[in-house]
Structure 1
Amino acid sequence: MARESFAYRSLIWLSVSSVLLTFPLIGFGAIVRLKGGGLGCPDWPLCYGRITPIGHLLSPPGAELQQGLEMGHRYVATVLGLLCISMVIAAWRSSYRRWAVGILLLVIFQGMLGRYTVTLKLAGWTVASHLLFGNICFAFIVSFALRARNLTSPGPLFNQRTRLLIPAFALTLLTLVLGGYTSGSGASYHCPGWPLCPDTFPGMQIQSTLKAINFSHRIAAGSATIVTLWALFKLWRRQSLHRGLIVALGLLFLVEVTLGAAAALTFVPVPLSGLHTLTAALIVGFFAAALTPAAPQSAGPVEAA
Structure 2
Amino acid sequence: MSETVDLYNLSPALWLMGLGALIALGPLAWVWLRNRGASPAQRLAALTVLTLFLTFDLVLFGAFTRLTDSGLGCPDWPGCYGSASPKGAHAEISQAQAAMPTGPVTHTKAWIEMVHRYLATGVGALILALAVATWMRRRELPVSIAWPVVTLVWVCVQGAFGALTVTMKLKPLIVTLHLLGGLVLLALLCRQAVTYAQAASRRPLPMVSPGLRGALLACFALLWLQVALGGWVSTNYAVLACRDFPLCQGQWWPEMNFRQAFELWRPLGMTGAGEPVEFAALTAIHYTHRLVAYVLLPLLLALGWALRRAGLARQGAWMMGLALWQLLTGLSNVVLGWPLVAAVAHTGGAAALVVVFTWTACACRAPQALAPRHARELRA
Distance in 2 (CA, whole Å) between partners of 1:220 and 1:78 is: 35
Q: What is residue 57 of structure 1 aligned with on the other side? A: 91
Is this contact kept in 2: 1:103–1:141, CA < 8 A?
yes
Distance in 2 (CA, whole Å) between partners of 1:5 and 1:250 is: 34
Residue of structure 1 aligned with 2:113, choices 70, 79, 82: 70
- With over 3 angstroms needed to count, the CA separation of the structure-2 counterparts of 1:153 and 1:159, relative to structure 1, is farther
Residue of structure 1 aligned with 2:339, choices 251, 255, 269: 269
> What SS does the corresponding residue of 1:42 show, helix, strand or coil?
coil
Equivalent residue letter for 1:134:
G
> What SS does the corresponding residue of 2:92 show, helix, strand or coil?
coil
- With over 3 angstroms needed to count, the CA separation of the structure-2 counterparts of 1:158 and 1:135, relative to structure 1, is farther
Please state how far the C-alpha of 1:7 moved relative to its aligned partner. Answer: 4.2
Q: What is residue 46 of structure 1 aligned with on the other side? A: 79
Please state how far the C-alpha of 1:18 moved relative to its aligned partner. Answer: 0.8
Q: What is residue 134 of structure 2 aligned with on the other side? A: 91
Equivalent residue letter for 2:304:
L
- With over 3 angstroms needed to count, the CA separation of the structure-2 counterparts of 1:34 and 1:262, relative to structure 1, is same
Please state how far the C-alpha of 1:244 moved relative to its aligned partner. Answer: 2.5
Residue of structure 1 aligned with 2:221, choices 170, 175, 179: 170
Please state how far the C-alpha of 1:42 moved relative to its aligned partner. Answer: 1.0
Structure 1: gaps (5+ residues): 299-305
Please state how far the C-alpha of 1:144 moved relative to its aligned partner. Answer: 1.0
Q: What is residue 270 of structure 2 aligned with on the other side? A: none
Is this contact kept in 1: 2:60–2:344, CA < 8 A?
yes
1:32 aligns with 2:65: yes
Q: What is residue 20 of structure 2 aligned with on the other side? A: none
Residue of structure 2 aligned with 1:100, choices 135, 142, 148: 148
TM-score, normalised relative to structure 1: 0.88
Q: What is residue 179 of structure 1 aligned with on the other side? A: 230
Equivalent residue letter for 2:86:
P
> What SS does the corresponding residue of 2:86 show, helix, strand or coil?
coil
1:132 aligns with 2:180: yes
Select the structure with the greater relative contact order (CA < 8 A; seq sep ≥ 6).
Answer: 1
Count of matched residue pairs: 291
RMSD, matched Cα: 2.3
Matching of residues 1-305 of structure 1 within 5 Å: 7-54=40-87, 55-59=89-93, 60-61=96-97, 63-92=106-135, 93=138, 94=141, 95-150=143-198, 154=205, 156-157=207-208, 159-201=210-252, 205-206=255-256, 208-237=280-309, 239=310, 241-293=311-363
Q: Which one is further off, 187-196 or 254-263?
A: 187-196
Higher gyration radius (CA): 2
Q: What is residue 302 of structure 1 aligned with on the other side? A: none
Q: What CA deviation, in whole Å up to 9, does each residue of 1:202-238 have, x standing for no partner?
A: x55436011100111111222221222232333344x
Q: What CA deviation, in whole Å up to 9, does each residue of 1:231-269 have, x standing for no partner?
A: 2333344x2x21222022111101111100011111111
- With over 3 angstroms needed to count, the CA separation of the structure-2 counterparts of 1:196 and 1:117, relative to structure 1, is farther
Q: What is residue 262 of structure 2 aligned with on the other side? A: none
Q: What CA deviation, in whole Å up to 9, does each residue of 1:120-166 have, x standing for no partner?
A: 11111112111111111101211211210127882532745430111
Distance in 1 (CA, whole Å) between partners of 2:235 and 2:337 is: 15
Equivalent residue letter for 2:226:
T
The list of structure 1 runs, each at least 4 consecutive aligned residues, that deviate by more than 4 angstroms after superposition, is 4-7, 158-161, 293-296
Equivalent residue letter for 2:133:
A
Distance in 2 (CA, whole Å) between partners of 1:81 and 1:118 is: 19
- With over 3 angstroms needed to count, the CA separation of the structure-2 counterparts of 1:11 and 1:84, relative to structure 1, is same
Distance in 2 (CA, whole Å) between partners of 1:8 and 1:242 is: 24
Equivalent residue letter for 1:25:
L
- With over 3 angstroms needed to count, the CA separation of the structure-2 counterparts of 1:52 and 1:245, relative to structure 1, is same
